Amino acid sequence: MSVLPGRTVVYAYPRTSPANEGPIEGWDLIPGARGCTPQSCAFRDHFSELQVAGAHAVFGLSTQSTAFQAEAAERLHLPFALLSDEKLELTKAMDLPVFEAGGLVLLKRLTMIIRGGVVEHVMFPVNDPAKNAEDVIEYLKQAK
pLDDT in tens, 7-27: 999 999 999 988 888 888 888
Helix (H, G, I), strand (E, B) or coil at 21: coil
| 2 has a pLDDT exceeding 80 | no
* Whole-angstrom distance, CA of residue 70 vs CA of residue 81: 7
Q: Which pLDDT score is estimated for 1? A: 52
* Contact status, residue 8 vs residue 57, Cβ threshold 8 Å: yes
pLDDT in tens, 51-80: 999 999 999 999 999 999 999 999 999 999
pLDDT in tens, 87-139: 999 999 999 999 999 999 999 999 999 999 999 999 999 999 999 999 999 99
Structure-model confidence comparison of residues 29 and 109, the more confident one: 109
Q: Which pLDDT score is estimated for 16? A: 92
Assessment of whether the complete model's pTM goes beyond 0.85: yes
- Element containing residue 133 per DSSP (H, E): helix 132-143
